[in-house]
């Protein structure tokens, strides 16, 4: 079966530095893939190459077997929605206006708000529990509310893939739990394929079906989440020792760097 998304020998050189080097892997429809690795491993650069936001220096990205470089921005935006690390702090729109703008891949330049648009927006507001914030300016939202608004905007794009770059960074614990649960629900209930860059190995272990570990711009390990409970592998990825913690009723053991454990 043809993979939904495939990277073949991707290479990327930025400012004379090789950021990605021969990265190859594929993603199945409906899969939840977490991309982990230390700072500078090439995680965000890889996500941008996969999403058509950055042209690789070498290699190819295939979307259902077709080279992505041959697809228009609108075609790609009908397939892939993004939740970036930042960039919405100063948007001059209300939450509802922001979501309506995210319908752009499916609308002509001068088309108004349709019945379908209103239904799609209403469903996204219900899922993210933002109904009461529709008229609030985006820049006045809290960090947790802003991440939910970004997820809602991604959902109204009605794509079959969702890319997330550090979706729980800078969120408090309650908002981390809520955001994680929403992304898992979107994947499990709606069948949306998720690619998530994260520094939180525990988030990857809890949520993903599979983990791709990058280091030095290349693939260090590509495997099931259970593979990444190995202390030796975690040490190889992050250059530090890890401890694992578990107990009765714990589905996935918690791991922590030894230097942070008292």
Q: Please tell me whether residue 233 adopts helix, strand or coil conformation.
A: helix
Query: Can you read off the two tokens belonging to residue 235?
Result: 């040490």
The residue assigned the tokens 């990857």 is: 204
Q: Read off the pLDDT band of 12 (50, 70, 90).
A: very high
Confidence at residue 112, expressed as pLDDT on a 0 to 100 scale: 79
Q: Percent of the chain at pLDDT above 90?
A: 82
Q: How far apart are CA 191 and CA 174, in angstroms?
A: 25
Residue 253 has pLDDT above 90, yes or no: no
In 3D space, the residue among 8, 32, 11, 2 whose CA is nearest the CA of residue 190 turns out to be 32
In 3D space, the residue among 2, 81, 27, 31 whose CA is nearest the CA of residue 191 turns out to be 31
The pLDDT tens digits of the residues spanning 103-150 come to: 999 987 667 789 999 999 999 999 999 999 999 999 999 999 999 999
Burial environment of residue 212 by CB neighbours within 10 A (0 to 12, 13 to 18, 19 or more): buried
CA 195 distance to own-chain centroid: 5
Confidence at residue 115, expressed as pLDDT on a 0 to 100 scale: 93
Q: Read off the pLDDT band of 246 (50, 70, 90).
A: confident
Query: Can you read off the two tokens belonging to residue 106?
Result: 């499916």
Q: How far apart are CA 229 and CA 253, in angstroms?
A: 8
**Better-predicted residue by pLDDT, 70 or 21:** 21
Query: Can you read off the two tokens belonging to residue 152?
Result: 């809602």
Q: How far apart are CA 250 and CA 248, in angstroms?
A: 6
Other Cβ atoms less than 10 A from the Cβ of 230: the count is 15
The pLDDT tens digits of the residues spanning 16-41 come to: 999 999 999 999 999 999 999 999 99
Residues linked to residue 210 through DSSP beta bridges, in sequence order: 33, 224
Q: Read off the pLDDT band of 238 (50, 70, 90).
A: very high
Q: Read off the pLDDT band of 262 (50, 70, 90).
A: low
The pLDDT tens digits of the residues spanning 149-194 come to: 999 999 999 999 999 999 998 899 999 999 999 999 999 999 999 9
The pLDDT tens digits of the residues spanning 79-91 come to: 999 998 866 666 7
The residues spanned by each domain of the chain are: 1-72+166-180+192-262, 80-158
Confidence at residue 88, expressed as pLDDT on a 0 to 100 scale: 64
Q: Which of 89-103, 130-144, 208-222, 235-249 has the lowest mean pLDDT?
A: 235-249
Q: Does domain 1-72+166-180+192-262 have CATH number 3.40.50.720?
A: no
- pTM check: above 0.75: yes
- Which stretches does DSSP call E strand in the chain? 5-14, 17-27, 32-36, 58-63, 66-67, 80-83, 161-165, 193-197, 210-215, 218-224, 242-245, 254-257
Confidence at residue 89, expressed as pLDDT on a 0 to 100 scale: 67
In 3D space, the residue among 136, 36, 59 whose CA is nearest the CA of residue 92 turns out to be 136
Query: Can you read off the two tokens belonging to residue 104?
Result: 């752009």
């Amino acid at each position: 079966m043809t993979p939904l998304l495939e990277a073949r020998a991707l290479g990327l050189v930025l400012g004379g530095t090789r950021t990605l080097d021969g990265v190859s892997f594929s993603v199945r429809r409906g899969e939840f893939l977490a991309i982990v690795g230390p700072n500078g491993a090439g995680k965000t650069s890889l996500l941008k190459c996969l999403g058509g936001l950055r042209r690789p220096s070498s290699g190819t990205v295939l979307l259902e077997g077709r080279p992505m470089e041959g697809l228009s921005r609108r075609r790609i935006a009908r397939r892939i929605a993004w939740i970036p690390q930042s960039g919405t702090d100063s948007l001059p729109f209300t939450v509802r206006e922001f979501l309506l703008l995210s319908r752009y891949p499916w609308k002509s330049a001068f088309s108004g708000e349709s019945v379908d648009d209103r239904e799609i927006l209403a469903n996204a507001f219900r899922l993210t529990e933002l109904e009461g914030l529709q008229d609030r300016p985006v820049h006045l939202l809290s960090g947790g509310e802003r991440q939910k608004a970004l997820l809602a905007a991604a959902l109204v794009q009605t794509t079959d893939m969702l890319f997330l770059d550090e979706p729980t960074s800078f969120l408090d614990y309650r908002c981390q739990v809520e955001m994680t649960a929403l992304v898992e629900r979107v994947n499990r209930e709606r069948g949306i394929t998720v690619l998530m860059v994260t520094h939180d190995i525990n988030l990857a272990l809890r949520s993903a079906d599979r983990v791709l570990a990058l280091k030095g711009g290349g693939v260090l390990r590509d495997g099931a989440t259970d593979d990444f409970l190995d202390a030796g592998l975690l040490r190889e990825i992050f250059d530090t020792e890890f401890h694992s913690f578990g107990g009765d009723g714990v589905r996935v053991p918690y791991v922590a760097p030894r230097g942070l454990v008292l």
